[in-house]
Amino acid sequence: MGKRIKNYVKVMMNFADEIRKGTLKQNKEEILREMLVQIKFFQHERLIHLIVTVLFAFLTIFTIACSCFLNNPSYGIPFCVLSVLCLALLVPYIHHYYVLENGVQKLYEIYDEIRDFGKAK
């Protein structure tokens, strides 16, 4: 999904450049409608990944706390291993959410730029 949003941002930036230059061959309103549909898809994906990332963050904190406070080695060591595994998954989730969030924010900017181009300020 990260690759898809990056590619889509590039395509939309090209459309914005064509609009600024006056060389756009397609209907601006059609582009804006399609862009809103894609933004909704990316927003949904972003929400799902936010939920998953927060849950993994809570799970990671919980396993770290359990490994610290359990004095029994038969419980503490498995929680240490589990906390390392959760942390290893949490870092990519945070990175992926970061890519989605920044991509959607960039799409908002491009959408506003395309929509407002040519309007009197």
Residue for token digits 């998954």? 89
Q: What is the mean pLDDT of residues 55-80?
A: 85
The model carries a pTM of 0.80
Residue for token digits 């939920």? 51
Q: Is residue 7 part of a domain?
A: no
Q: Is residue 1 part of a domain?
A: no
DSSP string, 46-109: HHHHHHHHHHHHHHHHHHHHHHHH---HHHHHHHHHHHHHHHHHHHHHHHHHHHHHHHHHHHHH
Q: Is residue 12 part of a domain?
A: no
Question: And the tokens for 77?
Answer: 């060591």
Q: Is residue 41 part of a domain?
A: yes
Q: What is the mean pLDDT of residues 50-59?
A: 94
Q: Is residue 15 part of a domain?
A: no
Question: And the tokens for 45?
Answer: 């994906």
Q: Is residue 6 part of a domain?
A: no
Total domain count for the chain? 1
Q: Is residue 10 part of a domain?
A: no
The per-residue pLDDT for 91 is 93
Q: Which domain holds residue 85?
A: 29-115
